[in-house]
Amino acid sequence: MKHTLRIAALTAITAVMLALAGMASGSTSVPATSGKCPIVTGHKWILPYAPYTSGTQYDLSVHGNKITCKQAAGYVKKLVTQHVHTGVAFSGGPSGWTCKASPSKVGLAYFGTCQPKSEGFLPADYFAWTVG
């Protein structure tokens, strides 16, 4: 009887371990792209409030698996050269995505976000930049 219980217990433990191994390998098949990206150097920004600090570096982060840091950095370099209005979507991001930003002292997009149009209020995929 003890031998049968041990075999049953080992079988159950083995099944759980195999299931966990399968879940772990499945979760790593999608490239990890979420998190903080390297600093992006782009168009000069000037804060819209005193003392009007300025610079050319932007902090960039991505979330989800639809865009990489490298891709987002390319878009940010273009987006920060555009004149924007707070809360108003503007073009220049990835196709099928919407971008919104806040204007710097001279009206350029000094921080903002882009996300797929299909993802709504709490997107799983997005990228965001702010002054560095």
pLDDT in tens, 65-92: 999 999 999 999 999 999 999 989 999 9
The ranges assigned to domains in the chain are: 1-30, 35-131
Q: What is the pLDDT of residue 18?
A: 32
Q: What secondary structure letter does DSSP report for 119?
A: G
Q: Global pTM?
A: 0.74
Exposed (0-12), middle (13-18) or buried (19+): which is 84, by Cβ within 10 Å? buried
Q: Is the pLDDT of residue 32 over 70?
A: no
- The CA distances from residue 109 to 10, 20, 35, 42, 80, in Å, are 60, 45, 21, 11, 5
d(CA 11, CA 5): 10
How does residue 101 score in pLDDT terms, banded at 50, 70 and 90?
A: very high
